[in-house]
Amino acid sequence: MANFKTFFISQTLTLTLLFSTLVTATYHHNISPSLVRSREKLTHLHFYLHEIFTSEKPSNIVIDPPKVVASSPLPFGSQVVIEDPLTIGPDVKSKEIGKAQGFYLSATQRPGLELEIVMGMALTFLEGEFNGSSLSVLGRNKIFNEVRELPIIGGTGEFRFARGYILARTVKVDYHKGDATVEYNAYVYHYSSTSSSSSPHLFNQGLHLCHGDY
Ligand SMILES: *[C@@H]1O[C@H](CO)[C@@H](O)[C@H](O)[C@H]1NC(C)=O
């Protein structure tokens, strides 16, 4: 009886393990990283971002300003939502190549002009090879420093697996209106989703390739 019980338990365990292995196998499997590594690219992007508070159609809006008396133009806790144009040149009327959508938060309690913001945004490109692809950016931006560094933490389309950094430099700012033009130099490692060289089906299982359609 005892032996039968042991046998039964061990059989149940084996079956359970076998079953869980089968279940596990249905939702993930390993892919050799060498299939993507050979396609790694390093790209430098150069463009200008325009923050426009004052216009009939502002590209930045301030959300629910905190009720605090502060000497700062952007008191601790302020939130700004952005849909800023990205252009090829410093002139806002130069060719638009993409947009920055996201937010920034005033994240320092220090009063005055030493603004420190935390920025989160998707930079989506609308021209050429990178049309429809985007970069995700999240980091601290001490906006009155000459050059600020922001991390690139991901991407889509041509920028899948993206990682890198941005050097941002303000080229023009109107302190009364808050409007600003910022030069962006982005350096990004990425793997294209469309290179034909190796098994794109491995990375788009069950999906139609719809590059540029998102
Ligand atoms: C970018 O892609 C969209 C969607 O596929 C397309 O409608 C648009 O014409 C493309 N723009 C350029 C400049 O190629």
Per DSSP, what are the bridge partners of residue 102? 82, 121
Residue 182: the pLDDT is 98
Nearest C-alpha neighbor of 92 from the set 51, 130, 135 = 51
Closest atom of ligand 1 relative to the 212 alpha carbon: 5
56 CB less than 6 Å from ligand 1?
no
d(C-alpha 193, C-alpha 111), whole Å:
46
- State the amino acid at position 131 in one-letter form: N
64's CB contacts (< 8 A; 6+ apart) are 79
Domains of the chain, first to last: 36-191 (2.40.480.10)
Q: How many residues does the chain have?
A: 214
Residue 4: the pLDDT is 58
Closest atom of ligand 1 relative to the 128 alpha carbon: 14
Closest atom of ligand 1 relative to the 131 alpha carbon: 1
Ligand 1 atom 12: the closest Cα is on which residue? Answer: 127
CA of residue 100 to ligand 1 center, whole Å: 17
Residue 196: the pLDDT is 45
37's CB contacts (< 8 A; 6+ apart) are none
CA of residue 86 to ligand 1 center, whole Å: 16
Q: Kind of pairing, strands 60-63 and 40-51?
A: unpaired
- State the amino acid at position 190 in one-letter form: H
132 CB less than 6 Å from ligand 1?
yes
Ligand 1 atom 2: the closest Cα is on which residue? Answer: 212
214 CB less than 6 Å from ligand 1?
no
146 CB less than 6 Å from ligand 1?
no
127 CB less than 6 Å from ligand 1?
yes
211 CB less than 6 Å from ligand 1?
no
CA of residue 160 to ligand 1 center, whole Å: 19
Tell me the three state secondary structure of residue 71.
coil
Residue 46: the pLDDT is 98
DSSP 95-115: PEEEEEEEEEEE-----TT--
Residues 136 and 163: beta-carbon distance below 8 Å: no
Ligand 1 atom 3: the closest Cα is on which residue? Answer: 212
114 CB less than 6 Å from ligand 1?
no
Two structure tokens written together for 207: 């999906």
pLDDT per residue as tens, the chain (214 positions) = 455 565 555 666 566 666 666 655 678 888 888 877 888 999 999 999 999 998 889 999 999 777 776 677 788 899 999 999 999 999 999 999 999 999 999 998 887 778 899 999 999 999 999 999 999 999 999 998 999 999 999 999 999 999 999 999 999 999 888 899 999 999 999 997 765 444 556 666 655 555 544 4
Residue 197: the pLDDT is 45
Number of H helices, E strands in the chain: 2, 9
**Reported pTM:** 0.81
Residue 104: the pLDDT is 96
Degrees, nearest 5: CA angle 10-16-22: 140
d(C-alpha 10, C-alpha 75), whole Å:
65
